Amino acid sequence: MGLKTYKPITPGLRFKKTLTFDEITRTKPEKRLTSILKKSGGRNNMGRVTSKLTGGGHKRKLRLIDFRRNKFDIPGKVFSIEYDPNRSANIALLHYVDGEKRYIIAPEGMKKGDEVIAGENVPAKLGNALPLKNIPVGIEIHNIELTKGKGGQIVRSAGSSAQILAKEGDWCHVKMPSGEVRLIHVNNFATVGKVGNSEHSSVVIGKAGVNIHKGIKPRVRAVAKNPVDHPMGGGEGRTSGGRHPCNRNGMPAKGFKTRKRKKYSNKYIVSRRKK
């Protein structure tokens, strides 16, 4: 998928870059594989705003993606490559030989008419899903399970891929897109290939109104606010904060480690992304 640039006839078009959507073969989603996506407007169950930057945006429908890939040993053919407004990657609609239809994340290089299959002993081919123990070392993978049977939880965004570095007993050393090396059990499933739509990171929105359509409201700098609204607000004339950067609840914002709930997963990290 390529990038499209515009003639700078307005300030919003001067630096704007959008995707050409060459790979997309169908514009409307499969009706049975969609559901209503409710919006919260940034409010919790009490009706209070807890996320100030959320609200508005274009109406969307949720596409039901098969992250588990648990339809074993039944081949499916790629019927279409589609756009999904809820994620950066494109999705592929599979028609299985038994008549069932499912969406999966479309890997780079997948085309309409390709055949894919999931199972224990299927070939390590683009789009196939199989356990890590049967995937050769060095091959790019995505949609990786952290718990067997739960479905892929990591490496699902556009252009991302992980790599198997080594296998030791019941564990695989997997290098994440961030550079972190992590232990994942050999029986967990993963999909072969790199996630498509890698040009997504090169998109330039051009103007703030594009983010409004996405449901992202403008962010006001903390030092520009009043003291009643933020700890870093206020001051006679322009100030640069006058204290260590923090959020509106007073929690330090830059460099303060908040990783508490994930202590149980530390033992699976072989090498951190930050050396």
Would you list the DSSP string of 22-56?
A: -S---SSPPGGGEEE----TTB-TTS-B--TTB--
Answer yes or no: is pLDDT of 50 > 70: yes
Q: At 11, which amino acid appears?
A: P
- Residue-wise pLDDT for 175-195, tens only, equals 999 999 999 999 999 999 999
E-strand stretches of the chain? 3-5, 17-19, 34-36, 61-63, 76-82, 91-96, 101-105, 115-116, 129-131, 140-142, 144-145, 152-154, 162-168, 171-175, 181-185, 189-192, 269-271
Q: What is the pLDDT of residue 264?
A: 66
Answer yes or no: is pLDDT of 221 > 90: yes
Q: At 241, which amino acid appears?
A: G
Answer yes or no: is pLDDT of 152 > 80: yes
Report the pLDDT averaged over residues 7-25: 96
The gap from C-alpha 194 to its chain's centroid, in whole angstroms, comes to 13
Q: What is the pLDDT of residue 257?
A: 84
Quote the CA–CA distance of 132 and 174 in Å, as a whole number: 10
Average pLDDT value for the chain: 94
- Residue-wise pLDDT for 19-42, tens only, equals 999 999 999 999 999 999 999 999
Q: In the chain, where does the domain assigned CATH 4.10.950.10 lie?
A: 223-269
pTM attached to this predicted model: 0.91
In CATH, which of 1.10.10.60, 3.40.50.1220, 2.102.10.10, 2.40.50.140 is domain 25-201? 2.40.50.140
Q: Say which residue, 97 or 267, is predicted with more confidence.
A: 97
Q: What is the pLDDT of residue 266?
A: 82
Q: In the chain, where does the domain assigned CATH 2.40.50.140 lie?
A: 25-201
Q: Do residues 208 and 122 touch, judged by C-beta distance below 8 A?
A: no
Report the pLDDT averaged over residues 62-74: 97
Q: What is the pLDDT of residue 74?
A: 97
Answer yes or no: is pLDDT of 224 > 90: yes
Does domain 223-269 bear CATH number 3.40.47.10? Answer: no
- Residue-wise pLDDT for 98-136, tens only, equals 999 999 999 999 999 999 999 999 999 999 999 999 999
Q: Do residues 82 and 104 touch, judged by C-beta distance below 8 A?
A: no
Report the pLDDT averaged over residues 73-91: 97
Q: Do residues 33 and 15 touch, judged by C-beta distance below 8 A?
A: no
- Where residue 241 falls among pLDDT bands split at 50, 70, 90? confident
What is the CA angle 213-217-223, rounded to 5?
155
β-sheet with 129-131: strand ranges across = 129-131, 189-192, 140-142, 162-168, 171-175, 181-185, 269-271
